[in-house]
Structure 1
Amino acid sequence: MTRPDEGRARPGVPPGGGRLLPLLLLVVGVALDLSTPRDVSAAACFSAAPVVAAPLLSLRGTVLVGVTACATDLGVMAYFGALRDAGAYSGWVTIATMAVLAVFLNRLLHRREMRLRSARGVAVVMQRAVLPQPPPRIGPLLIAARYEAALADAELGGDLYAVQDTPYGVRCLIGDVRGKGLGAIEAATVVLGAFREAAEREPALTGLAEWIEQTLLREAARRQGLDQAEDFATAVLAEIPRPGDRVRLVNLGHPAPLLLLEGAVRPLEPSRTALPLGLAPLGDDTGHVDTVAFPEGASLLLFTDGVTEARDLGGAFYDAAARLTGHIAESPDVLLDTVLADVRRHTRGRVTDDMALLALTHVGGAPAAGPN
């Protein structure tokens, strides 16, 4: 039976130039041996070839490079008539030893990669369970959400979002719990649970923020691990009352949302700063409500700091407002795909933090049933 990885490059290794390096080393080794005096050996090139192949190629490829290196060195020895010279075999033994070690190295890297991929798969399933996709439309609003995990490790982040149709309009939450791993997921679940419960009950956004705040503090006092590892969460609460022509925002230490309309982009900075959720002991401000016009055709884009803190190779942060200026989104889905693709271009694929994004577009039509 053929192993799943045989005959293919190792996952995560781009095709082309990188995988040709072992072959290049073999060619350089042959060229050096044939163009230099007999006492000058290119065994170092032949030894390096299988070691370089180990992280780049499959098991079959690594074995093939090792065998080729050993056979090539024997061919060079035969060319110079050194097959009967016992001393000439010391270099060949070194090459064979490195080839065997390269096979072990390839297997170790493969097992580590499989463990990481398995952990990432479990993480994605857990993240989807915590963050279900919102409905694509509620009344006059088209809605889309994305969660993109960083590739650096398999730990879950505390980024979160939620959308809920309530008697007070469509209410949204975007947030980022401090930390990573199970502690962050635990805290994010607390925040999301409090939002889903209080969004139906609290008539004011500040009351909703206070409810989540008290729930988070209560759970932190009850669970020592949560209190120590996940002290606070930045968040933006948004409310779009019917008929959907305005949006109310409460910003709790979170990156400002963007309002996009006909190619213009407007950052919705809070008129008054407020502490993140979970830091009530440091102050009594549960946020201030800002109301902004939300005309038909406009889109509201909310995101976590994985977007704003994405850096290019020179260390420059991603400026979503500047890069989206002039862009007219056909739909919330297209808008989020555009942002994520642009972040990847900006960072050259070096995304180091999880990103949660939420977009709502006012398209008009019949509003959802319910009181204003």
Structure 2
Amino acid sequence: MRRHRPAIEAAAPDRRRLPADPAWMRWLPVFYVAGVLALEPLTPVQWPVSFLLIALPLVAAFAHGPVFVAGVTAFAIVFEGVLAGTPCCAGRSVGYLWDRHYVTAYICTALVGALATILASHRTRRERTLADVRFVADIAQHVLLRPLPHRIGGLLVDSFYVSAAAEARIGGDLYEAVPTTHGVRLVIGDVRGKGLLAVETAATLLGAFREAAHEEADLPALAARVETSMARRAELLSGSEVGERFVTAVFAEIVAGDQVLKIVNCGHPPPLLIRSGEVRELGTGRSGPPLNLGMLVGEPYHVDVHAFRPGDQMLMYTDGITETRAPDGSFYPLVDRVRSWGPLPHGELLVRLHHDLLDYSHDRLHDDVAALTACLRPDQGAGDVSTYPGA
């Protein structure tokens, strides 16, 4: 199975291009003709193996365009005649060239070639349509989950996103980091559901977060502001869709100069704190409800405050990681795996995690996966947040 494409520091999308076929498929017509040539001298006169060339246009249509397939069809017809009239081929004479059986073979090859040319043309159009869809999806992901800088003030930041669907590019998992006068504010979330509705919900949340992160004085107010935006957007929907537009999320605020980490959890898996090889969950059991469900509870958001020293790393992730399964059905033990790796440089943690997830699941991820890490640089305090665009 093909490896899933990680989105670690995703680059801007390239121009549309057709997906490349495997090399063996492009060379398949050559292998097919070579096989026919190898069999021809070994068969009796009554078994004209050259008739197998009737299928050559269909073989070429798997990986080549209509012009190439039409050329292969003409080649197959001529080559059938060459084999039929070659005396050295099992004692056949030139008189076989216009035998009615061979004429029938020429006609069949031409018909099969015409159908294969149409098939190749249709396949090429479908591939161009798929390339256009991928191009648009890449642009949407670039806008929705814009690449994060490696450094935001005194923090080192890294992220990745992997879609469970091999051909997909975007989904309902999200993350963002915004430097503000209150500190660096981060969010990671997971939208309930899949498809375009999930993408639209993620876009709504990220838009609200990017704006409110600069304006709200504390994390509970920030979470409430995003909650209000989500609820207002949900009111525009009708039917059962309203109940499906909730998001689990974690909001974090890091004030590097004060070496403080603040967290508001809205029904999401708790982040991990990694310090000198020690790994622990930053959860107190007081998680709030998912966003867009807070009005059902009516309680204020709770803030957890933790020390965040130079060299500490925080790992925020979606439940696609902890719900990754091995072939025997066992869930991925995130805390135990990260603890077993020992201290890792900041840039290597997510790379190790990504490859370990694929190995653990045997390349069979069943849910989207997103992760975000933040590390307080050992040599700096608050630093300058102006290195981030829009700061």
- For normalisation by structure 2, the TM-score amounts to 0.74
Find the aligned partners of 1:311 and 1:23 in 2 and give their Cα distance: 42
Maintained 8 Å contact 1:271/1:290: no
- Residue 360 (structure 1) aligns with: 374
- Seen in structure 2, the aligned counterparts of structure 1 residues 72 and 226 have a Cα distance that, compared at 3 Å, is farther
- Match runs of 1:170-185 below 5 Å: 170-185=184-199
Long gaps (5+) in structure 1: 1-8
- Residue 3 (structure 1) aligns with: none
| 1:108 and 2:122 matched | yes
| 1:14 and 2:29 matched | no
- Match runs of 1:82-97 below 5 Å: 82-97=96-111
- Secondary structure of the corresponding residue to residue 187 of structure 1: helix
Instruction: Please give the per-residue CA displacement for 1:279-315, whole angstroms capped at 9, x wherever unaligned.
Output: 3355446654444443322222223345555667777
Which of 236, 245, 260 matches 2:250?
236
Find the aligned partners of 1:327 and 1:65 in 2 and give their Cα distance: 59
Find the aligned partners of 2:331 and 2:38 in 1 and give their Cα distance: 47
Maintained 8 Å contact 2:267/2:289: yes
Deviation at 1:143, TM superposition (A): 1.8
- Residue 309 (structure 2) aligns with: 295
Maintained 8 Å contact 1:62/1:102: yes
- Secondary structure of the corresponding residue to residue 164 of structure 1: strand
- Seen in structure 2, the aligned counterparts of structure 1 residues 284 and 34 have a Cα distance that, compared at 3 Å, is farther
Find the aligned partners of 1:66 and 1:10 in 2 and give their Cα distance: 24
Q: Which amino acid aligns with 2:77?
A: C
Deviation at 1:122, TM superposition (A): 2.1
- Residue 35 (structure 2) aligns with: 28
Q: Which amino acid aligns with 2:175?
A: Y
User: Among the aligned pairs, what percent are the same residue?
Assistant: 36
- Residue 153 (structure 2) aligns with: 139
| 1:326 and 2:341 matched | yes
Find the aligned partners of 1:315 and 1:73 in 2 and give their Cα distance: 55
| 1:50 and 2:47 matched | no
- Residue 118 (structure 1) aligns with: 132
Find the aligned partners of 2:261 and 2:132 in 1 and give their Cα distance: 41
Maintained 8 Å contact 2:190/2:247: yes
Deviation at 1:174, TM superposition (A): 0.9
- Residue 280 (structure 1) aligns with: 294
Deviation at 1:189, TM superposition (A): 2.7
Deviation at 1:216, TM superposition (A): 0.8
- Residue 157 (structure 1) aligns with: 171
| 1:219 and 2:233 matched | yes
Q: Which amino acid aligns with 1:23?
A: V
- Seen in structure 2, the aligned counterparts of structure 1 residues 94 and 152 have a Cα distance that, compared at 3 Å, is farther
Kindly indicate whether structure 1 or structure 2 has the higher relative contact order, using CA contacts under 8 Å at least 6 residues apart: 2
Maintained 8 Å contact 2:18/2:127: no
- Seen in structure 2, the aligned counterparts of structure 1 residues 32 and 237 have a Cα distance that, compared at 3 Å, is same
Deviation at 1:363, TM superposition (A): 0.8
- Secondary structure of the corresponding residue to residue 178 of structure 2: strand
- Secondary structure of the corresponding residue to residue 359 of structure 1: strand
- Seen in structure 2, the aligned counterparts of structure 1 residues 63 and 348 have a Cα distance that, compared at 3 Å, is farther
Deviation at 1:172, TM superposition (A): 0.6
- Which is further off, 75-84 or 112-121? 75-84
Deviation at 1:201, TM superposition (A): 4.5
- Residue 183 (structure 2) aligns with: 169
- Seen in structure 2, the aligned counterparts of structure 1 residues 227 and 25 have a Cα distance that, compared at 3 Å, is same
- Match runs of 1:297-316 below 5 Å: 297-308=311-322
- Seen in structure 2, the aligned counterparts of structure 1 residues 124 and 10 have a Cα distance that, compared at 3 Å, is closer
Deviation at 1:170, TM superposition (A): 1.9
- Seen in structure 2, the aligned counterparts of structure 1 residues 12 and 323 have a Cα distance that, compared at 3 Å, is farther
In the alignment of these two chains, the number of paired residues is: 360
- Seen in structure 2, the aligned counterparts of structure 1 residues 245 and 318 have a Cα distance that, compared at 3 Å, is same
- Which is further off, 220-229 or 192-201? 220-229
- Seen in structure 2, the aligned counterparts of structure 1 residues 109 and 195 have a Cα distance that, compared at 3 Å, is same
Maintained 8 Å contact 2:273/2:280: yes
- Residue 39 (structure 1) aligns with: 46
Deviation at 1:164, TM superposition (A): 2.1
- Secondary structure of the corresponding residue to residue 239 of structure 1: strand
- Secondary structure of the corresponding residue to residue 175 of structure 2: strand
Find the aligned partners of 1:134 and 1:228 in 2 and give their Cα distance: 31
- Seen in structure 2, the aligned counterparts of structure 1 residues 170 and 283 have a Cα distance that, compared at 3 Å, is same
- Residue 14 (structure 2) aligns with: none
| 1:74 and 2:81 matched | yes
